[in-house]
Structure 1
Amino acid sequence: MRLPDAFDSIAADTATTSRVFGDPYVTPDGATVIPASLVRHRPGSGRSDSRPLGIFVVKDGKPAWVPAVDTTRIALMGELIGLVAATLATVAMVRRPPWPDVRGEFSRRF
């Protein structure tokens, strides 16, 4: 692959996905906050979806990145894992109960 072709493929990728930085604003304590998000443009449909990535906080000349956390996705994964665990435990109990097998022949000797 030639170098100009590589640049063209990178340019084609950035045409559909781009990072967008919002307007910076200053908080009352003197920190500057700059929001960042990811915007995806869907070719042909004219729609675009955006997802927050996080914010840059600049305080006393020192920048810090604070990522955005999707707590809904984390909670949904916890519920899904619990459902799968409960289903597997139920299947294990139906196939082989945890109590001992008491069937068999018993003889009494006096």
Structure 2
Amino acid sequence: MLVFGEPYETASGTVLVTVTRQGRRGGPGHAVGLYTVNADGVTWTPATDQGRIALIGACTGFVAAALATLAVVRRPPWPNLTERAMIAQAESMKHRR
């Protein structure tokens, strides 16, 4: 349920009305936004939770790092360094000289 706060008038004549969403079972709510009423009209400014946005960014980074690590462990980007490959490389270096 939305709860509208008491209107607050600034020195410039702008009226601000806060809007919150009531928490479950009468618990603390969280901010939804702010209505700004002035001579130009009414504007709505939604509230953003910067902590949640930062958490989503950090989780995305961790998932990307984990997937990249898994890809490198399963199939590394460098060539296979088996004995046969090392011998072939050494022989090709001899022929170049």
Fold shared, TM-score > 0.5 on shorter chain: yes
The bucket for the TM-score relative to the shorter chain is: 0.7 to 0.9
Does residue 31 of structure 1 match 2:51?
Answer: no
**Which structure shows the higher helix fraction?**
2
In 1: Cα distance, 2:51 partner to 2:24 partner: 24
What are the Cα deviations for residues 12-65 of structure 1, in whole angstroms up to 9, with x where unaligned?
xxxxxx2110000111221100000000332xxxx4230110010001050000
Aligned partner (choices 68, 71, 93) of residue 50 of structure 2 = 71
Identity %: 38
TM-score by length of 2: 0.80
After TM superposition, list the pairs within 5 Å mapping 1:52-91 onto structure 2: 52-60=31-39, 62-91=41-70
Question: Structure 2 regions of 5+ residues with no counterpart?
Answer: none
1:14 aligns to what? none
* Number of matched pairs: 89
Residue 28 of structure 2 aligns to a residue in which SS? strand
Question: Structure 1 regions of 5+ residues with no counterpart?
Answer: 1-17
Residue 29 of structure 2 aligns to a residue in which SS? strand
TM-score by length of 1: 0.72
Letter paired with 1:71: Q
- RMSD between aligned alpha carbons? 2.0
